[in-house]
Amino acid sequence: MSNSFNNLGLSQEILAALTAKGFTEPSPIQALVIPEFLREQANIIGQAQTGTGKTAAFSIPILESIKRDGTIKALVLTPTRELALQVCEEMYSLIGSRELRVSAVYGGASIEQQIRNIKRGSDIIVGTPGRVMDLLERNVLNFENIDFFVLDEADEMLNMGFVEDIEKILQTTREDKKMLFFSATMPKSILEIAKKYMVQYKVLKVENKELTTKLTEQIYFEVREGDKFEALCRVLDFEQDFYGIIFCRTKIEVDEVTKHLKTRSYAVESLHGDITQSQRTKTLAEFKEKIINVLVATDVAARGIDVNNLTHVINYSMPQEAESYVHRIGRTGRAGKKGIAITFVTPKEMSRLGLIKKIAKADIKKQDIPAIKDIIKSKEEYLQACVSEIINENDFTAYAKLAAKLLADSDPQTVLASLLRHQFQDEFIEESYAKIENNRARNTDNVKLFVALGKKDGMNPRKLLDVLHENCKTPGRKVRDIRIMDKFSFISVPLDEAEIIMRKLNRKNKTMVEVAKN
Ligand code: ADP
Ligand code: MG
């Protein structure tokens, strides 16, 4: 296999563009696909892990082979708007001095503008199926002359239910085009479509000998379902530089985790299929700029997020398959940077973890959830480091006068301690953290509580959860069997949580919560 772009039969223009882009050698999938594409008429199915340069693997030979004639010569379908834009951008960066126009089309943005753009003359269209269909129906797009048809992230396209659209689009293309499917995983459904539409094809696959990257440290926590949220907060609290994605299984779970994290003031946003395109774009921009450092997402929504320096990936819900595990954790430990992948495993899920370890050939080590005292220690160290940095940089003179005033009446230690208390509230106080059962599942330790708040106080389940959360930091998922009566309510919570709730809600002269008498 060649380890230079020079041996792949590429033109000087493209080689110059590659050099300018800083690509020195082809990635394995590129080394397989590019010569095959240029040599043969065969259709290609390319499979390689995420982040291995599949975009350039099809873009380079397409740009090399395209014969401009004023009509559209290539169509690339992608599952999401981000991917369409990324592919479009990558193509432009590879065009070099050649005159070619690439247009990206996708939903959630002005169709008129896209129409104007296409009408200025496009050689290549990169788009999402829905918008492409729309533009076909308006006779703005015409694929009768295309030489190349690409399905990017084919597995995801099928997952997202784009099959019908894809088939309709294919029917408008000419017979003897070259077809290319690219995907990180290769479910049967892709091969079925391939068989249906490609008379012949070659599968070019980069084996994942090392499915998971060495730069990613893989650990798991054994955690009870009801303790997951608390465990998540511990990780976020422990890692002062946390910058990562939290994977959930469903949209509902994404929403729930995000909401609870927001109530605890983490800088967090969510991504899933029901999030509007403009919100999604905003969230991604904020994440890239690190305005938010936590992103909660479903697998599908996280596809195509191009961020290289994540410190963490957290599998809040265990992935269903080994491939999806590999996919998720492949988002950290990239570009020479170290990363940590943490998987939350409930006792029931231990066997699935075993399976994932085996299939993904992954060494996933058990670790304990950070203990409260370690979190506080880590916070203290961080605070100390910040303080010495500020002292060293002499960056506090604006506050010197105020400091002198504050010190006038009390001793320095008292003043400083009060300031810390004011700034950090109970962040450094061990008792303020919720407990986690680190090992076995115990289902019998739920306590039924009587709460003296009912419908007449404006309660409904949601409101009651809010009250508990605001006053006791009780995560909503720990509260079961909520029953709201006229004048009071019942809830079930784990024993330790019950203690916290009673301590926080009961005042000296008023009992708001007590253990229900059955
Ligand atoms: P995939 O589609 O396989 O998930 P991408 O095509 O998005 O991966 O590529 C991942 C990253 O690697 C991109 O930032 C891309 O610019 C970069 N990349 C691709 N090919 C090369 C190469 N030959 N040398 C260096 N970087 C590359
Ligand atoms: Mg890709």
Q: How does residue 221 score in pLDDT terms, banded at 50, 70 and 90?
A: very high
Give me ligand 1 centre to Cα 330, in Å.
13
Q: How far apart are alpha carbons 5 and 61 in whole angstroms?
A: 12
pLDDT digits (tens, 9 = 90+) for 62-84: 999 999 999 999 999 999 888 99
Do residues 184 and 155 lie in contact, with contact meaning Cβ atoms separated by under 8 Å? yes
Q: Is 465 helix (H, G, I), strand (E, B) or coil?
A: helix
Question: Residue 427 corresponds to which amino acid?
Answer: E
pLDDT digits (tens, 9 = 90+) for 116-156: 999 999 999 999 999 999 999 999 999 999 999 999 999 88
490 or 511: whose pLDDT is higher? 490
List, in sequence order, the alpha helices (H) in 225-265: 228-238, 251-263
1 or 168: whose pLDDT is higher? 168
Is 115 exposed, middle or buried, given 0-12, 13-18 or 19+ CB atoms closer than 10 A? middle
Q: How far apart are alpha carbons 101 and 98 in whole angstroms?
A: 10
β-strand pairing of 178-183 with 148-151: parallel
| pLDDT at res. 1 | 44
Residues 6+ apart with CB under 8 A from 54: 29, 46, 48, 152, 182
pLDDT at 215 over 60: yes
Question: What stretch of H or E contains 331?
Answer: none
Do residues 77 and 129 lie in contact, with contact meaning Cβ atoms separated by under 8 Å? yes
pLDDT digits (tens, 9 = 90+) for 42-67: 899 999 987 789 999 999 999 999 99
| pLDDT at res. 404 | 93
- Ligand 1, atom 18, lies closest to the CA of 53
Residue with tokens 């967090």: 268
| pLDDT at res. 130 | 95
49 CA closest ligand 1 atom index? 3
pLDDT digits (tens, 9 = 90+) for 235-283: 999 998 899 999 999 999 999 999 889 887 899 999 998 888 889 889 9
Average pLDDT on 82-99 reads 92
Long-range residue pairs from 423-429, CB within 8 A, at least 24 positions apart, any chain:
427/379, 428/376, 428/379, 428/380
Q: What is the mean pLDDT of the chain?
A: 89
- Ligand 1, atom 25, lies closest to the CA of 23
- Global pTM? 0.54
- Ligand 1, atom 23, lies closest to the CA of 26
Ligand at shortest distance from the CA of 48: 1
Give me ligand 2 centre to Cα 94, in Å.
16
Give me ligand 1 centre to Cα 30, in Å.
10
30 CA closest ligand 1 atom index? 23
pLDDT at 26 over 60: yes
Give me ligand 2 centre to Cα 79, in Å.
10
27 CA closest ligand 1 atom index? 23
Average pLDDT on 225-230 reads 90
Q: Is 425 helix (H, G, I), strand (E, B) or coil?
A: coil
Give me ligand 2 centre to Cα 306, in Å.
10
- To test ligand 1's pocket by mutation, which of 15, 23, 213, 323 has the most ligand atoms within 8 angstroms of CB? 23
pLDDT at 436 over 80: no
Q: For the domain 216-369, what is the CATH code? A: 3.40.50.300
26 CA closest ligand 1 atom index? 23
Q: How does residue 443 score in pLDDT terms, banded at 50, 70 and 90?
A: very low
Give me ligand 1 centre to Cα 106, in Å.
22
pLDDT at 13 over 50: yes
- To test ligand 1's pocket by mutation, which of 52, 87, 152, 306 has the most ligand atoms within 8 angstroms of CB? 52
Number of continuous H segments (helices) and E segments (strands) in the chain: 20, 18
Q: How far apart are alpha carbons 142 and 136 in whole angstroms?
A: 7
Given CATH 3.40.50.300, say whether it is the number of domain 5-205. Answer: yes
Q: How does residue 441 score in pLDDT terms, banded at 50, 70 and 90?
A: very low
According to the 3-state scheme, what is the secondary structure of 178-190?
EEEEEECCCCHHH
pLDDT at 446 over 80: no
| pLDDT at res. 321 | 81
Tokens representing 49?
């892990």
| pLDDT at res. 451 | 94
| pLDDT at res. 439 | 42
β-strand pairing of 446-451 with 513-515: antiparallel
Q: How does residue 213 score in pLDDT terms, banded at 50, 70 and 90?
A: low
Q: How does residue 312 score in pLDDT terms, banded at 50, 70 and 90?
A: very high
| pLDDT at res. 10 | 92
- Tell how far CA 177 is from the center of its chain: 35
Given CATH 3.30.70.330, say whether it is the number of domain 446-515. Answer: yes
Ligand at shortest distance from the CA of 78: 2
Instruction: Tell me which residues have their CB within 5 A of the ion that is ligand 2.
Output: 54
508 or 453: whose pLDDT is higher? 453
pLDDT at 478 over 70: yes
Least Cα distance to 328 among 355, 371, 295 occurs for 295
Q: How does residue 2 score in pLDDT terms, banded at 50, 70 and 90?
A: very low
| pLDDT at res. 103 | 97
pLDDT at 226 over 90: no
| pLDDT at res. 268 | 96
Q: What sign for the dihedral angle of Cα 424, 428, 431, 437?
A: positive
Give me ligand 1 centre to Cα 32, in Å.
15
Ligand at shortest distance from the CA of 157: 2
Give me ligand 1 centre to Cα 206, in Å.
14
| pLDDT at res. 495 | 81
| pLDDT at res. 41 | 76
Ligand 1 binding residues, C-beta < 6 A: 23, 26-27, 30, 48, 50-56
182 CA closest ligand 1 atom index? 2
Q: How far apart are alpha carbons 20 and 434 in whole angstroms?
A: 53
Intervals of CATH 3.40.50.300 along the chain = 5-205, 216-369
